[in-house]
Structure 1
């Protein structure tokens, strides 16, 4: 059966950017940056993204196109049967992430409904915090929205590569940028907002610790969709004459810009309304409604914002669903419909205890973490970096000639940077990621 392909290079870039620009950039980045001191964390994060991040992204895309297969098949075909285990780990990461990611995606649908009803249009931090806490700790309401989000994700994946994923990304990603810029401009005019800008952009290196570096690397991998098989799978759909380095550079740049915009959108509002900048996962859902309450037509802006937050969540979720769906199609020769529905059902089931761990099951922990936090930590701080180390070793040592061929296509002056990338894959990436990984355990 002929393998699907992207309809255009732009479609591929926007789809890959859509995979990367999700809740990791808009929901997770502001609160993780806040918890790690703002500006100093931002610099470390950008450093990781434009060095290890772009190298790993190019390696994943090149591996996917060279093998013309999804994660497991790519590692098996290029590295040998034992390397297929790394591909299985990537599929597992995608499966685990989407299980709890879908829960958060469901929150965005719930907040669209709450915006339409006017329930969250308030500038009172205690009221907004109470609404959010009450919602996520409910035993049933978040599960309904978790199911709705998973159904939306499946619907897009069933449309296929061009009609589903690519068409969605082309329309919705530009809309997300425009809406974020509008909200940033409005937020900057709030009294006290510039304190938030200073906190976000002014680096205080006295707050940097080993945890800061670990979190920055973990978030870089999470935000760029690395180590989960997504870029390998998307790379397998890339035409042979498309420049992978140029495409990867655009994806990394767009993702970084959105992370910066997310920080400028959320943190000035945090300071303007006197919220706690290290409040955690609820930060976006608590601060943004307070901004809307101060705006003319705020209710409409609230609806549009949470629709676009849903869009960002959906484009990333689709890439994760495509990883596990493509795996089932390639490895077990299942039809796309059967594969997507089976995987969605299993991920929904795992998402149930993740959601309940934020409420009635909060006292049940493993390694001191509830199910939701454990899934987040295990994927972002352990499995994804580990996958990055193994991919770098495979690309740098065992299959570098094939990777080099893929990266040289459509690229000028490749002789200037390819040796540096080879050196990074062989020595720098495994050593640095490995050091951070070990310290994070």
Structure 2
């Protein structure tokens, strides 16, 4: 359940539904499903195998599985660096979400009515201000730390077992409300009607990128979680369950959001613009207590998705520091959280008063976003899949996938072909295309 929480994040809710509709609805969904189960799941299984076989965090996992080629441990280090930068940006955006949840509960968002300019102006003023975003990202970071400090069983797994069902229930409630609005069928048509004329090469690449990185591959998280998986668990079934859950949440998010957007006569959007500008307008159009309640439900849903993902990122970093410095979990978690809050504060402030802080012409926020979306995860995933396919002993891989001969891995020849040839090629294509565009 914790691994499902890691995979289900903000991208499932605010990115997938938009790009699904933009690139042909049902046509995009079909391609996405093929990539999610054909490549994304394979990459996840690879990380699980590395983690469970080594019972270590990324750096030591790579080193222990290739004792004569110590240089591979730097792929593990790259995963840690990737985690660190992604979590800093995640804390910033999660802080925004938590703040909006309080604004929804107190009725502050409702006072803006359906004035799109006022709602947009409020988001701009809030995200560029010096104090409130930093306060809320700090609160969110400390909340994440509390879960980590409670340990894997009593903290991460226990919280995930509660939050993930709550997330699904909230999504279903929003879906029911969205589908009962007048004109909801236009939103469903946007999401699901297959239009292959819109499925351009750009759309196929968007499906491939979403499928791979929605599952939290390429940052070492699944290696850490793999090290916790019992030896008796079937890694194929575990990966299938996580992938199916991730896809289901993404599709439900689209059903919850876009019928309501079209019902209000608004244009579809993705990313922060959807969550913090378009949807407050949608909820305010419902009027009165109804609008306040559904606004609060949505931002609570978004906060839960952010929390389950940030927990996995912080756990990967904390576990790595425990193993590297041989320190206590409490100390390592506090060190990582303090460093993350410091970096996240810089990232947040670069939206406003520190906008002069630039790297290569980009604000520091945009620079970190570029690292997280274009460079670090694809490079880490590429190094990981090369190691798994060409360096790690094949006997070790077979042992883990068959649980030392107990299970029949009839899929293994296809799995081996994908992990050796298709997955590396897909990662190279996504990486080069992202850079060129």
For normalisation by structure 2, the TM-score amounts to 0.91
Offset at residue 403 of structure 1 (A): 1.6
Determine which of 379, 397, 403 is the counterpart of 1:403: 397
Decide whether the 8 Å contact of 1:211 with 1:440 is kept in 2.
no
Aligned partner of residue 272 in structure 2, secondary structure? coil
Matched residue, 1:302 = 295
| Range moving further from structure 2, 106-115 or 216-225 | 216-225
Matched residue, 2:121 = 130
Offset at residue 277 of structure 1 (A): 1.8
Decide whether the 8 Å contact of 2:171 with 2:301 is kept in 1.
no
Determine which of 70, 74, 87 is the counterpart of 1:85: 74
Deviation readout 1:170-227 (Å, 9 max, x if unpaired): 1110111111011111112223332222112224344444543443333323321111
Matched residue, 2:422 = 428
Matched residue, 1:43 = 30
User: Which whole-Å CA distance do the structure 2 matches of 1:269 and 1:125 have between them?
Assistant: 16
User: Which whole-Å CA distance do the structure 1 matches of 2:378 and 2:53 have between them?
Assistant: 23
Deviation readout 1:240-277 (Å, 9 max, x if unpaired): 11111111100000000001111122222222223332
Aligned partner of residue 416 in structure 1, secondary structure? coil
User: Which whole-Å CA distance do the structure 1 matches of 2:177 and 2:402 have between them?
Assistant: 44
1:194-343 pair list within 5 angstroms: 194-278=185-269, 280-293=271-284, 294=286, 297-343=290-336
Offset at residue 353 of structure 1 (A): 3.0
Offset at residue 408 of structure 1 (A): 1.1
| Range moving further from structure 2, 68-77 or 385-394 | 385-394
1:154-193 pair list within 5 angstroms: 154-193=145-184
Q: What runs of 5+ residues in structure 1 fail to find an aligned partner?
A: 1-13
Offset at residue 362 of structure 1 (A): 4.7
Offset at residue 412 of structure 1 (A): 8.1
Decide whether the 8 Å contact of 2:13 with 2:253 is kept in 1.
yes
Offset at residue 89 of structure 1 (A): 0.6
Correspondence 1:106 to 2:95: yes
| Range moving further from structure 2, 413-422 or 64-73 | 413-422
Q: What runs of 5+ residues in structure 2 fail to find an aligned partner?
A: none
Corresponding pairs, count: 428
Correspondence 1:419 to 2:413: yes
Check 1:206–1:359 CA distance in 2 against 1; reply closer, same or farther (3 A cut): farther
Determine which of 53, 68, 80 is the counterpart of 1:66: 53
Q: Please, what is the CA RMSD of the aligned residues? A: 2.3
Decide whether the 8 Å contact of 2:25 with 2:191 is kept in 1.
yes
For normalisation by structure 1, the TM-score amounts to 0.90
Check 1:196–1:175 CA distance in 2 against 1; reply closer, same or farther (3 A cut): same
User: Which whole-Å CA distance do the structure 1 matches of 2:116 and 2:24 have between them?
Assistant: 22
Offset at residue 314 of structure 1 (A): 0.7
User: Which whole-Å CA distance do the structure 1 matches of 2:126 and 2:344 have between them?
Assistant: 16
Offset at residue 113 of structure 1 (A): 1.2
Decide whether the 8 Å contact of 2:218 with 2:377 is kept in 1.
yes
Determine which of 34, 42, 59 is the counterpart of 1:55: 42
User: Which whole-Å CA distance do the structure 2 matches of 1:364 and 1:318 have between them?
Assistant: 29
Determine which of 383, 396, 402 is the counterpart of 1:390: 383
Matched residue, 1:9 = none
Decide whether the 8 Å contact of 1:180 with 1:265 is kept in 2.
yes
User: Which whole-Å CA distance do the structure 1 matches of 2:28 and 2:389 have between them?
Assistant: 29
Offset at residue 350 of structure 1 (A): 1.7
Aligned partner of residue 297 in structure 1, secondary structure? helix
Check 1:405–1:413 CA distance in 2 against 1; reply closer, same or farther (3 A cut): closer
| Range moving further from structure 2, 364-373 or 169-178 | 364-373
Deviation readout 1:358-408 (Å, 9 max, x if unpaired): 334456554554333332332233221222222222222222221221111
Determine which of 417, 431, 434 is the counterpart of 1:437: 431
Offset at residue 431 of structure 1 (A): 1.6
User: Which whole-Å CA distance do the structure 2 matches of 1:422 and 1:376 have between them?
Assistant: 33
Decide whether the 8 Å contact of 1:45 with 1:217 is kept in 2.
yes
